[in-house]
Amino acid sequence: MSFYVKLKARDDSEATHWGVDLERAKEASRAQIGDQVQLARRNSNSDNSNRVTWSVRVLGRSRAKIEETAPAKITEDFAEKRLPHWSPEERASFKEKTNRLRSAIGSNEPERSR
């Protein structure tokens, strides 16, 4: 079975592209659902096989993906630098507050201080 991608244009029209090399190109670009991408099909005739190769270029990341990952990355970076110096009680409190905050973000409810 061939790999395929579905692209949605600015005018909301959709196009489906199939290709053996598409999966490799998508993985190499690290494109994710919702990213703005440029897809290019290249015909290679170097070995007389008329093989098709693809390139995927990420032009912009999905806004939802950025908003979802940024707080988590900041929290991970902070924890990596600070947690080793904290007491077990401080670590437990931080982890509990972080989990509450993640739940609030996931449900779009504001975090209430306790």
pLDDT at 111: 46
pLDDT digits (tens, 9 = 90+) for 97-114: 877 877 776 654 444 444
Question: 81, 94 in Cβ contact below 8 A?
Answer: no
- The reported pLDDT for the residue numbered 109 is 45
- Give the integer Cα–Cα distance in Å for 68 and 110: 15
Radius of gyration of the chain from its Cα atoms, rounded to whole angstroms: 22
Segment 51-79 shows an average pLDDT of 74
Q: Averaged over 18-36, what is the pLDDT?
A: 88
- The whole-number average pLDDT for the span 58-71 is 68
Angle at 33 between CA 28 and CA 35, to 5 degrees: 75
Which of 51, 52, 25, 56 lies closest to 39 in space, CA to CA?
Answer: 56
Pairing of strands 3-8, 14-19: antiparallel
Q: Flag whether the pTM goes above 0.75.
A: no
